[in-house]
Amino acid sequence: MKSVDCCVLCSESILHRKRGIVSPFLSRRIWNRSAMPIDLVQCRSCGFLFFNPRIEADEEQRLYAGYRQEEYQQTRQSFEPWYTPKFNASISGSALMEVRRQKLAAILKTHLAGIPGPAILDFGGGRGQLIRDIVPNSSGVIYDISGTQPVEGIGVFRTLDECRSREFDLVVCSNVMEHVGFPRTIMDQITSIATPETLLFVEVPCESPFGVRLLVRRLIQYGIIALVRPAVALSVARPGLLYPMHEHINYFTSDSLKTLMVKSGWSIVASGAYALESALGGRAIWCIGRLAQDGSGLSTPAEVGQTSGDSKKLVF
């Protein structure tokens, strides 16, 4: 983990907001240890909220290897009793996926008009269900660190070099940036794949760690753990209980998402939000961009160092 002294999106100063705690599941899966304290901080400029210290690429790999597969599900259920095989399957189930597909298709319809058979890369897209046949006559490929196998009709690239070997009309990065320690690094990887003609669609949940719905859900979950897994409940019974760092380690607003795009060298073509219309409720925010033709906002080596390297290495 790395402790940062500035915002990982815009490099501006940060403000400590709350004491949090790394969830028992994450602590065990990534570091093979018990739950540990962490800080929730906020950028004074763009408003981006994130946990600090930050997880790094090798830690992300340990967390998401075999994502939502049997071993992952069983380990998570040992800490979180509600995370049953049925619940695990429902997260990417057909009903919610179809809602997301309909929303994305409507957003992309205008922007991909006139492109016959667009080539689409789903960056971090799991099995590729989101992009399959999302646009008529399109071809789709996924790039995902989990090692998952794509659905029928979707290709797979395992390395960034493979991604760079082909030109894409559209790169989709949906529900990824809330999971990664250094979003600017992911944006730099996408930029290295893109051409001036490539469209980029980035989508993240619009949620707050201070929202009443989320806080109530955490209290209910803690009550369940206390009844069913008392040893796990005891391990987190300390300051930070209400602000656990789980898989979502970042909290975006529309402004902070736009900041990420612009600071990474992309001009915003369109942006918006929509309701998820699921049992869990919530909203998603999104931006579509093209590479800035004048180079404004492009990450220089110094800027990348400030964002993801101007930090202190921590060992827990």
Boundary (domain end) residue, out of 247, 275, 297: 247
Q: Looking at 40-44, 109-113, 188-192, which range is the least confident one?
A: 109-113
Question: In this structure, how many other beta carbons lie within 10 angstroms of the beta carbon of residue 207?
Answer: 20
Question: Same structural domain for residues 161 and 201?
Answer: yes
Question: Same structural domain for residues 216 and 283?
Answer: no
Boundary (domain end) residue, out of 227, 247, 267: 247
Host H or E run for residue 306: helix 301-308
Phi/psi at 219 (nearest 5 deg)? -65, -40
Question: Same structural domain for residues 157 and 303?
Answer: yes
What is the tens place of the pLDDT at every residue in 214-257? Answer: 899 899 999 999 999 999 999 999 888 999 999 999 999 999 99
The domain in which residue 68 lies consists of 1-91+208-247
User: For tokens 């069983």, what's the residue?
Assistant: 74
Are the beta carbons of 60 and 181 closer than 8 angstroms?
yes
Q: What is the pLDDT of residue 277?
A: 61
Q: Do the domain assignments include residue 316?
A: no
115-135 burial string, b = 16+ CB within 10 Å, else e? eeebbbbbbbbbbbbbbbebb
Q: Do the domain assignments include residue 292?
A: yes
Percent of all residues in the chain with a pLDDT value above 70, rounded to a whole number: 91
Q: Do the domain assignments include residue 313?
A: no
Q: What is the pLDDT of residue 213?
A: 85
Count of structural domains within the chain: 2
Q: DSSP assignment, residue 148?
A: P
Q: Do the domain assignments include residue 268?
A: yes
Question: Same structural domain for residues 221 and 270?
Answer: no
Boundary (domain end) residue, out of 247, 271, 299: 247
Question: Same structural domain for residues 200 and 79?
Answer: no
The CATH number assigned to the domain holding 141 equals 3.40.50.150
Q: Do the domain assignments include residue 312?
A: no
Q: Torsion angle of alpha carbons 242, 257, 298, 55, nearest 10°?
A: 20
Confidence of residue 310 (pLDDT cuts 50, 70, 90): very low
Q: What is the mean pLDDT of residues 258-275?
A: 95
Question: In this structure, how many other beta carbons lie within 10 angstroms of the beta carbon of residue 153?
Answer: 11
Question: Same structural domain for residues 164 and 190?
Answer: yes
3-state SS class at 287: strand
Q: What is the mean pLDDT of residues 124-152?
A: 88
Chain-centroid distance, C-alpha 29: 18
Question: Same structural domain for residues 278 and 301?
Answer: yes
Confidence of residue 303 (pLDDT cuts 50, 70, 90): very low
Q: Do the domain assignments include residue 222?
A: yes
Q: Do the domain assignments include residue 134?
A: yes
Question: Same structural domain for residues 27 and 155?
Answer: no
Q: Do the domain assignments include residue 314?
A: no
Cα(first)–Cα(last) distance of the chain, in Å? 8
Give the global pTM: 0.88
Contacts of 129 (CB under 8 A, 6+ apart): 92, 97, 101, 151
Question: Same structural domain for residues 105 and 115?
Answer: yes
Question: Same structural domain for residues 41 and 108?
Answer: no
Q: What is the mean pLDDT of the chain?
A: 88
Question: Same structural domain for residues 126 and 268?
Answer: yes
Confidence of residue 294 (pLDDT cuts 50, 70, 90): low
Q: What is the pLDDT of residue 58?
A: 95
Question: Same structural domain for residues 69 and 213?
Answer: yes
Q: What is the pLDDT of residue 281?
A: 60
Q: What is the pLDDT of residue 239?
A: 86
